[in-house]
Amino acid sequence: MTQLKKQVASTLPANISLDWLRSAYSHMVLIRAFDKKVVALQRTGQMRTYPSCLGQEAIGVGIGLALQDNDVFVPYYRDQATLFLRGVSLTQIMQVWGGDERGHLFEGAARRDLPLCIPIATQMTHAAGVAIALKSRAEHQACLVTCGDGATSKGDFSEALNLAGLWQLPMVCVINNNQWAISVPLHKQTACQTLAQKAVAAGMEGVQIDGNDVAEVYQAVDRALTKARQGKGPTLIEAVSYRLSDHTTADDATRYRDLEQVNNAWEREPVKRLQSLLHAHQGWSPEQENALLESVRKQVDDAVTAYLSIPPQPADEFLKYQFAEMTTPLALQISWQHERFPEHETSDSNGVQKS
């Protein structure tokens, strides 16, 4: 198991500039402030169940900075930072967790990315499918999929990895090993010494990295993506971190884990660590910190204002997108819904809201 560094390295990571680190730090601070705000919205009844990414900022930002626009990102539900760096707005991310699927109308670099996946590990097989398409079209781009440590126990995980290894697919899988699958600790999840070694059975390269070190995440993911784009096969990356938050806002982690363990994990948390590294190299001043916090506060507040002002999705929307053509049973359900709840907003059969 990687010994996560508590202290700041005295030298800068190779081939990483202070400017790069400052930019990564700014993204991480933004995501942390955003995450805190979304939890507060949930606590005040303005957000649905939300999975915090507290402590996972280095993984999300490292991946987001390594992906290229034409790569395909297949996320799971704790990927707020990567989604943001793909061009998905903070408002859209809140929309998704507020139960409004219109948040999934990704554009820009994320236009080919898949929606957030809630069923554990099913995104692995979707990613293998995407990677087959990229390879057969000779697109020279890669597909990157993420999952949690718990997901590695699922059949979908092994099946997708097996296929990726066998067909040498342009696929990179990053496991966010945050040590917990809700209340199940890693040592009750697997007898493997590391999750990276699951790559061996699939015939692919596996690496374990420190998921609290954004430069290490970026460099490992960048290397794996470059390899995949060059047709040199898939990579499994285990990014070791710690889930500092509850599993979701519906969970209370104090019921199943020691405060001492959590306190120890806080000493290695990624944002403070990067800030200390910048300070150690005279790369960050109190004025820069204050300016960043002010700009982050404004970005988050503006995104929340925009989110809260979005008109609700028409109530019949969730019945509209399952088939290309409306089926008779679904059409009947929609008309019953209109009869029963005439006060609800409705939409026409193309999903356009009627006034």
Ligand X SMILES: Cc1ncc(C[n+]2csc(CCOP(=O)(O)OP(=O)(O)O)c2C)c(N)n1
281 is catalytic: no
Given candidates 51, 75, 98, 148, which one binds Mg ion under the rule CB under 5 A?
148
Q: Is 62 in the site for Mg ion (CB under 5 A)?
A: no
Give yes or no: 256 in active site. yes
Cα–Cα distance, 61 to 222 (Å, whole number): 12
Partner from Mg ion, ligand X, none contacting 118, C-beta within 5 to 8 A by type: ligand X
- How distant, in Å, are the alpha carbons of 8, 197, 346 from that of 92? 35, 36, 22
Distance, CA of 9 to CA of 57 (rounded, Å): 19
67 makes contact, choosing from Mg ion, ligand X, none, with CB < 5 to 8 Å by partner type, with: none
Q: How far is the CB of 239 from Mg ion (least distance, A)?
A: 11
Question: Could you tell me the smallest distance in angstroms from the CB atom of residue 152 to ligand X?
Answer: 7
Q: How far is the CB of 42 from ligand X (least distance, A)?
A: 16
Instruction: Compute the chain's Rg from CA coordinates.
Output: 21
Of 42 and 178, the one with the shorter C-beta distance to Mg ion is 178
The C-alpha atoms of residue 83 and residue 72 are separated, in whole angstroms, by 12
Q: Tokens in use for 61?
A: 């930002």
219 binds, among Mg ion, ligand X, none (CB under 5 to 8 A by kind): none
Q: First vs last Cα of the chain: how many Å apart? A: 58
* Cβ–Cβ under 8 Å, residues 84 and 102: no
Pattern 200-219, binding to Mg ion, x per CB under 5 A? Answer: --------------------
Pick from 106, 81, 84, 17: nearest CA to 239: 81
Task: Give the footprint of Mg ion on residues 161-190 (CB under 5 A).
Answer: 178, 181
- Of 84-92, 100-108, 148-156, 278-286, which part binds Mg ion (CB under 5 A)? 148-156
Binding site for ligand X (CB under 6 A): 78, 118-120, 148-151, 176, 178, 180-182, 243, 247
**CB nearer to ligand X: pick between 269 and 316:** 269
Amino acid at 349: S
Nearer to ligand X, 21 or 96 (CB): 96
Alpha-carbon span 190 to 192, nearest angstrom: 5
Distances (CA, A) of 348 to 103, 323, 332: 20, 15, 14
Q: Taking CB positions, which residue lies at the least distance from Mg ion?
A: 148
Answer for which of 100, 113, 149, 238 binds Mg ion (CB under 5 A) is 149
| Catalytic position from the list 32, 126, 243, 268 | 243
Of 221, 172, 173, 196, the C-alpha closest to 61 is 221
- Work out what residue 27 binds among Mg ion, ligand X, none; the CB cut-off runs from 5 to 8 Å by kind: none
**Shortest Cβ 55–Mg ion spacing (Å):** 11
- Least distance between ligand X and beta carbon 111 (Å): 25
State the minimum distance, in angstroms, from the CB of residue 325 to ligand X: 30
Q: At 185, which helix (H) or strand (E)? A: strand 184-185
Q: Under DSSP, is residue 175 helix (H, G, I), strand (E, B) or coil? A: strand
SS3 category, 35: helix
* Cross-strand bridge partners of residue 177: 240
For the chain, what's the residue count? 355
Active-site residue 307, yes or no?
Answer: no
Residues in the interface with Mg ion (CB under 5 A) total 4
Q: Which of 126, 247, 268, 273 is catalytic?
A: 247
> Who contacts 174 (Cβ-Cβ below 8 Å, separation ≥6)?
59, 63, 144, 145, 146, 147, 221, 237, 239
Contacts to Mg ion by CB under 5 A: 148-149, 178, 181
The residues annotated as belonging to the active site are 243, 247, 256
